[in-house]
Amino acid sequence: MVEAQDVWSNSVSPDDNRWMSAAISASWRAIGRSGANPPVGCVLISQDGQLLAVGHTGRGGVPHAEVSALQSLCDVGRSALQGGTAYVTLEPCSHHGKTSPCSDALISAGIARLVVAVKDPDRRVNGAGLHRIAAAKIKIRLGVMQSEAEESLLGFMNRLQEGKPYCSLKIATSMDGRVGLSDRKKRWLTGAPMRHYVHLLRSKNDAIVTGVGTVLSDDPRLDCRNEGITRDSPPIYVFDRLLRTPTTAKLFKSQHKVTFFCGDTATKQRRDELIAAGATVVPLPDDAAGKPDVSAGMRYLGTKGVNHALIEAGPSLVTSILAANAVDRIYWTQSNHILGSNALAAVDNLGTELANKMAILPQKEYFQTDHRVIGDDRLVILTKSRLNGEETGA
């Protein structure tokens, strides 16, 4: 039997980076829309170097990127692909799930060369796709633009390796770091362009996480209201220890079931009322502070196939999530308002040890990886450092 290493190729085509870059760009269109499946991009090139098709993972994971690209070919395109090259951001699957193996589809298509950015760590694949394609004597080149492709696969990889989604925290504050006045009445801090950006950000996540404090004070919808992406509004998860959320909350207008994380002290009556309203109620163990355990909640999201989670919450839950070391990226938006020290701070008391770890000591927990001006407001993106202390890209 032919082994994968027997057909691995170190030969570099001058267009490998060009076409893999196109595949990576396609993969970004699937983030937040591919369900538990990885957001993958695929580009098909003819033997003489002509672009034939581009595909990405479909909504809910179907079709896979390779199948999407192959299905878009006409008869002439299928003929031209004979002896051509497939560029895929993640190793083609080799198992039967919702679809047949993509490795088989590429073999049947008659490609002569496969270029892959990242080997799939999923135990159902993990080299088996490459092995199957190698057995068909198709040349394989692995690792092209790997770091760039891994950025679009962060959520999927994080869930497989850590058992939790890649968690992004969105905070909107005034210039002096306040999220609202002490009366807790809802007011917009940032302008319409920034809110438009946040709705787009929501569409690129598989879940929105919030707390009961935000629900009671703001009664938010937490959906995507930009034209063209309303279908991409993700499911909503609420940390609500006592299940105080009223069944009249706007969250219940979501296109998905709302899930509540509660503590053991939540009454059966409140559980039954929320379930009758269409919600799912998930009891969590309490943490040391007597609140539903954040880490347990994130692990639950992992079991539900959530790759990317966006946290939009008030100071209490934000502080708990930071303390649990559950935040991988921070989107900090800032308006031109000054609210004063009696207004609500974005983050509660972190304690000296955690504050030192995050901001004061040389080994910072987060690095600025992007910043921009949107309308009259500012956005800073902070990304958790890798284990080796290097910065990650935004």
Q: Which residues are the active-site residues?
A: 66
Q: Are 288 and 310 in contact (CB under 8 A)?
A: no
Distances 78 to 82, 106, 124, 257, 325 between C-alpha atoms, Å: 7, 11, 29, 42, 49
Tokens at 287, concatenated: 């943490």
Find tokens 């497989």 and name the residue.
160
Contacts 24+ apart (CB under 8 A), 213-218: 213/313, 213/314, 213/315, 213/316, 213/317, 214/312, 214/313, 214/314, 214/317, 215/240, 215/245, 215/249, 215/251, 216/244, 216/245, 217/180, 217/184, 217/185, 217/186, 217/314, 218/186
Query: What is the sign, positive or negative, of the torsion defined by CA atoms of 360, 362, 363, 366?
Result: positive
Question: In 29-126, which residue ranges form alpha helices assigned H by DSSP?
Answer: 65-71, 75-80, 102-109
Cα atoms found within 13 Å of the Cα of residue 194, Cβ hemisphere only: 24
Give the amino acid at 68: S
- In the three-class reduction of DSSP (H, G, I as helix; E, B as strand; rest coil), residue 251 is classed as helix
